[in-house]
Amino acid sequence: MTPSLTGPEREFLTLVSRAAYSNPFSAERAALDAQIARTPGDEPDQLDRLLARLRGRLAAIDDRVGGARLSTADQALLAHGTFFDAFHRASDAFDGLITEQLAAGPRRVAVPFASAILTPLVARGLSPARAERVLGFFWQMRRAFYFIQSGLVGRSPAMGALREALWSSVFTHDVARYERYLWDRLEDFSTLILGETGTGKGAAAAAIGRSGYIAYEPSRGAFAASFTDTFVPVNLAEYSEALIESALFGHSKGAFTGAIDDHDGVLARCRKHGAILLDEIGEVSEPVQVKLLQVLQTRQFTPVGGRSPGRFAGRIIAATHRDVDALRAEGRLRDDFYYRLCADVIRVPTLRDRLAEAPEELAALVDTLTTRIVGAPSPELAAEVTARIDADLGPHHPWPGNVRELEQTIRRVLLTGRCAPRAAPSPASVSQAQPFGGGALTAREVLDRYCAQLYAQHGTYEQVARITGLDRRTVKKHVLQGQPAD
């Protein structure tokens, strides 16, 4: 008689299976963990208690069935329990590997603990090839969790929803289906990230871009690529119209003056299962949109001045701080291009919205950013900065520059002991100084000087662009023209 799981064993492992394939940032996962661990909520030792119960059940099942083959359904449940246990046993080792790989850059690092994961999986009945695929999947899941958790700090509901959305962008809303069907097909799914300047769109994109599937190569004892090499960000607003196509598609030698050699653009440099971030996608011209649309439709591109098409192997993540509906209404963003980008749309919340939901999030952000700035945890400095922000800005400061403004505010407090920059001239003194030439300037010169004044006050081209409604490149041009000559 073929042995089988008992009813309670099957019920328990079904819960574990659901937890193993659920979004770790979701309310569903939190409820499952509490149910499995038999804890009332998010207790500090909840995971330890959950794993202790799981390991006890797995050991009891092994003792009872004695290595006999179970039915397909029961075997699958037992495998999922084993996967869950193996993944968490290796989580600290994976985190260490992430840190080591970040330091090593593109050089691949060895995975000394690979056999400790593969051996039990093979003993559970997996083929070596299947076990290696599971190891690659574990590595992907741990990277995604690490970068989503550490790169996007905050316990407000808005940030919880963002982390949940980012995980789904990597693994879809059904992780089991992703692992079965879509693990090597996500390049066909583009993501559009929206949010005001300074909210953290780059960190959100990096969390997705660094979390693609990377196979394990047993012959080398390492994964096939460094995740630092699989994400290629490019800020489109930094390039002039003449250079943006070369930056994206590359160029052939002699394609234009100064093209002294062949050059690979970001599309050619992106690896399989990798991703490129097209930041400030709202700034690109219609001809460039048409060429990018062709890439999204055919996966092919042609370098400037070239004849042989190249193949784009990665995934496109686009981001903009602009209102995409307004861009489309104004004809600045093609509808067909937008519809190729919007398979997944993620909105990064503003800092004011986060603080409205959870005022205590400010202190947590200050602590994290201060640690990043000084290079080590410093509760004393974080408390000093938080107190100064409360005293100088108060609880209702709108934070128009979002997290980027907060980070610079922290730097200013550490440098000067205060939040506000040095006082700007009063309206009366500005009037007396006749900064706009007493009516003798052209409209262009007035705009130049106005932008230069705003830049001197706020310190970033992005904030000046936000105030004036101009794009960043135009703002930079006016600022440079409006600054006084040395």
Give the pLDDT confidence of 145-188 residue by residue, as tens digits: 999 999 998 999 999 999 999 999 999 999 999 998 998 888 89
Q: What does the pLDDT read at residue 433?
A: 43
pLDDT band for position 432 (cuts 50, 70, 90): very low
pLDDT band for position 431 (cuts 50, 70, 90): very low
Q: What does the pLDDT read at residue 439?
A: 60
**Average of per-residue pLDDT across 7-24:** 96
Angle, helices 379-392/361-374, rounded to nearest 10 degrees: 130
pLDDT in tens, 285-311: 999 999 999 999 999 998 888 888 899
- Is the pLDDT at 120 greater than 60, yes or no? yes
Location of structure tokens 């950013």: 369
pLDDT in tens, 91-104: 999 999 999 999 99
**Average of per-residue pLDDT across 341-368:** 95
pLDDT band for position 43 (cuts 50, 70, 90): confident
Q: Residue 252 carries which side chain, given as an amino acid letter?
A: S
Nearest to 153 by CA among 321, 379, 360: 360
Angle, helices 472-482/461-468, rounded to nearest 10 degrees: 100
Domain assignments of the chain as residue spans, ordered by start = 1-89, 125-349, 351-416, 427-482
- Is the pLDDT at 429 greater than 50, yes or no? no
Q: What does the pLDDT read at residue 437?
A: 55
- Is the pLDDT at 430 greater than 80, yes or no? no
Separation between Cα atoms, residue 49 and residue 36, nearest integer Å: 9
Apex 249 CA angle, 244 and 255, nearest 5:
80
Per residue, what are the HEC states of the chain?
Answer: CCCCCCHHHHHHHHHHHHHHCCCCCCHHHHHHHHHHHCCCCCCCCHHHHHHHHHHHHHHHHHHHHCCCCCCHHHHHHHHHHHHHHHHHHCHHHHHHHHHHHHHHCCCCCECCCHHHHHHHHHHCCCCHHHHHHHHHHHHHHHHHHHHHHHHCCCCCHHHHHHHHHHHHHHHCCCHHHHHHHHCCCHHHCCEEEECCCCCCHHHHHHHHHCCCCCCEECCCCEECCCHHHCEEEEEHHHCCHHHHHHHHHCECCCCCCCCCCCECCHHHHCCCCCEEEEECHHHCCHHHHHHHHHHHHHCEECCECCCCCEECCCEEEEEECCCHHHHHHCCCCCHHHHHHHCCEEEECCCHHHHHHHCCCHHHHHHHHHHHHHHCCCCHHHHHHHHHHHHHHCCCCCCCCCHHHHHHHHHHHHHHHCCCCCCCCCCHHHHHHHCCCHHHCCCHHHHHHHHHHHHHHHHCCHHHHHHHHCCCHHHHHHHHHHHCCCC
pTM of the model as a whole: 0.84
Contact 362, 208 (CB under 8 A): no
Q: What does the pLDDT read at residue 428?
A: 47
CATH of domain 125-349: 3.40.50.300
